């Protein structure tokens, strides 16, 4: 009887060792890359990488360097969750870092390697400073408190030749107000599409799809500005909406409202109509532009988008029809292509529309 017990114990130990060797580890792994900023973990949970713009380069890097790697999940301070009880298929915003690797968070690595640019996540609480802190804690990399200044874009390499920049008079308004009429006055100053510097920039982009105003010009303007865009915060506790000409002169840098003003100004400069939207939800706010596509059919616009952005997965086609029957194509810089997914404006959305040079403010919800 004692011999049998000893045999059972030995057999049990061997069985446990074999189980440990062949049984899949319970660790959290990246099992699928959905796009350049969203991964699916081994438990089916989707993680949106905080701060990461979904580019083709970032998707390639995730597939080549991080697919099937064990990772630690560091959630955003504004939306904590437990990875063990997170729901399969649901999206969560977080930082990821590879286990046993000291290089830093995957989020920060993609940005440092130039695979993507910093994405504004207004619905979350983490700021750029918090993002840098997470990257430092994850890697022991010291973040330079005095980074090199942004290098100017060599526009001449893109066959873009701009006239000399002439500083304009001081503005009366350069921030968002609670009064929509004051915001119209601010945007009239900021969207300086009739100034030679802005007009020349817009003309040279639109000329890649020459002729009267057309959907190809919308695509060229959006794609160039988005690809060249580098995100830079406003001063702490302040809002500053730059003139379009300032943004061009400063090498396409700024935050979401600066991008919206730039794109809208370029559309207006080449004969289009444009809307600048501000949207709010429970977690924060955002700004984005829209282009008037009333004179074109949806199939015409979609075909041009698919042809121009053939490497993108066209998962949605976002067009708004206003009370006057005009159709507006979403041009949010957080999307990969014109007509991309709409920002959540569940609390409030204001539209500042310029049609034929006349600005109008509408509270959409």
The full 3-state SS of the chain, as one line of letters, equals CHHHHHHHHHHHHHHHHHHHHHCCCCCCEEEEEEECCEEEECCCCEEEECCECCCHHHHHHHHHHHCCCEEEEEECCCCCCCCCCCCCCCEEEEEEEECCCCCCEHHHHHHHCCCCCECCCCCCCCCHHHHHHHHHHHHCCCCCCCCCCCCCCCHHHHCCCCCCCCCCCCCCCCCCCCCHHHHHHHHHHHCCCCCHHHHHHHHHHHHHHCCCCCHHHHHHHHHHHHHHCEECCCCCCCCCCCCHHHHHHCCCEECHHHHHHHHHHHHHHCCCCEEEEEEEECCEEEEEEEEECCCCCHHHHHHHHHHHCCCCCCCCCCEEECCCCCEEEEECCCCCCCCCCCCCCCCEEEEEEEECCEEEEEECC
Q: What is the band of 357 on the pLDDT scale with cuts at 50, 70, 90?
A: very high
Higher pLDDT, 118 or 349: 349
Segment 143-179, tens digit of pLDDT: 445 555 667 888 888 889 999 888 888 899 999 999 9
Segment 112-126, tens digit of pLDDT: 777 877 766 655 666
User: What local confidence, expressed as pLDDT, does residue 65 receive?
Assistant: 92
d(CA 301, CA 256): 24
- For the chain, list the strands marked E by DSSP: 30-35, 38-41, 46-49, 71-75, 91-98, 230-231, 253-254, 274-281, 284-292, 319-321, 327-331, 348-355, 358-363
Helix, strand, coil percentages for the chain (3-state, nearest 5): 35, 20, 45
Instruction: Determine if the pTM surpasses 0.75.
Output: no
User: What local confidence, expressed as pLDDT, does residue 292 receive?
Assistant: 98
φ/ψ of 56, rounded to 5, equals: -65, -40
DSSP sequence for 10-46? HHHHHHHHHHHHHSPP-S-BEEEEEETTEEEETTS-E
Higher pLDDT, 237 or 274: 274
Max Cα distance, the chain (Å): 99
Question: Other C-beta atoms within 10 Å of 226: how many?
Answer: 22
Segment 183-240, tens digit of pLDDT: 999 999 999 999 999 999 999 999 999 999 999 999 999 999 998 988 887 777 788 9
Segment 24-68, tens digit of pLDDT: 445 789 999 999 989 999 989 999 888 787 888 899 999 999 999
User: What local confidence, expressed as pLDDT, does residue 20 receive?
Assistant: 44
Which tokens is 152 given?
């100017």
User: What local confidence, expressed as pLDDT, does residue 327 receive?
Assistant: 98
User: What local confidence, expressed as pLDDT, does residue 289 receive?
Assistant: 98
Q: What is the band of 8 on the pLDDT scale with cuts at 50, 70, 90?
A: low
d(CA 182, CA 199): 25
Residue 97 near residue 30, CB atoms below 8 Å: no
Q: Which of 139, 103, 102, 122 is closest to 51 using CA atoms?
A: 122
User: What local confidence, expressed as pLDDT, does residue 25 receive?
Assistant: 41
φ/ψ of 128, rounded to 5, equals: -60, -40
Higher pLDDT, 325 or 104: 325
Question: Other C-beta atoms within 10 Å of 4: how many?
Answer: 8
Segment 130-144, tens digit of pLDDT: 666 655 554 444 444
Higher pLDDT, 326 or 102: 326
Over residues 96-125, the mean pLDDT reads 75
Which tokens is 197 given?
């510097």
Question: Other C-beta atoms within 10 Å of 294: how many?
Answer: 13
């Amino acid at each position: 009887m004692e011999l049998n017990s000893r045999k059972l114990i030995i057999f049990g130990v061997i069985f446990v060792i074999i189980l440990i060797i062949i049984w899949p580890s319970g660790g959290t792994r990246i099992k699928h890359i959905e796009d350049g900023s969203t991964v699916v973990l081994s438990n089916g949970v989707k993680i949106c990488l905080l701060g990461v713009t979904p580019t083709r380069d970032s998707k390639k890097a995730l597939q080549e360097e991080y697919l099937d790697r064990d990772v630690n999940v560091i959630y955003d301070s504004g939306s904590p969750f437990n990875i063990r009880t997170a729901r399969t298929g649901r999206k969560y915003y977080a930082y990821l870092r590879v286990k046993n690797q000291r290089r830093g968070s995957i989020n920060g690595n993609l940005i440092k390697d130039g695979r993507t640019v910093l994405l504004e996540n207004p619905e979350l609480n983490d700021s750029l400073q918090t993002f840098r802190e997470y990257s430092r804690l994850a890697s022991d990399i010291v973040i330079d408190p005095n980074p090199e200044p942004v290098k100017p874009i060599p526009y001449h390499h893109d066959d873009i030749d701009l006239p000399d920049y002439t500083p304009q008079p001081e503005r009366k308004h350069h921030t968002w107000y609670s009064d929509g009429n004051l915001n119209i006055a601010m945007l009239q100053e900021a969207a300086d599409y009739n100034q030679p510097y802005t007009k020349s920039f817009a003309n040279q982009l639109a000329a890649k799809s020459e002729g009267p105003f057309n959907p190809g010009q919308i695509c060229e303007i959006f794609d160039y500005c988005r690809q060249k865009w580098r995100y830079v915060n406003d001063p702490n506790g302040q809002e500053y909406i730059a003139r379009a000409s300032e943004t061009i002169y400063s090498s396409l840098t700024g935050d979401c409202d600066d991008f919206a003003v730039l794109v809208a100004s370029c559309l207006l400069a080449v004969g289009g109509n444009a809307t600048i939207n501000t949207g709010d939800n429970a977690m924060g706010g955002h700004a984005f532009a829209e282009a008037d596509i009333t004179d074109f059919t949806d199939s015409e616009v979609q075909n041009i988008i698919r042809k121009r952005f053939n490497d993108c997965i066209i998962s949605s086609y976002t067009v708004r029809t206003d009370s006057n029957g005009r159709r507006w194509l979403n041009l949010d810089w957080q999307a990969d292509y014109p007509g991309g997914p709409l920002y959540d404006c569940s609390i409030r959305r204001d539209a500042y529309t310029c049609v034929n040079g006349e600005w109008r403010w509408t509270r959409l919800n």
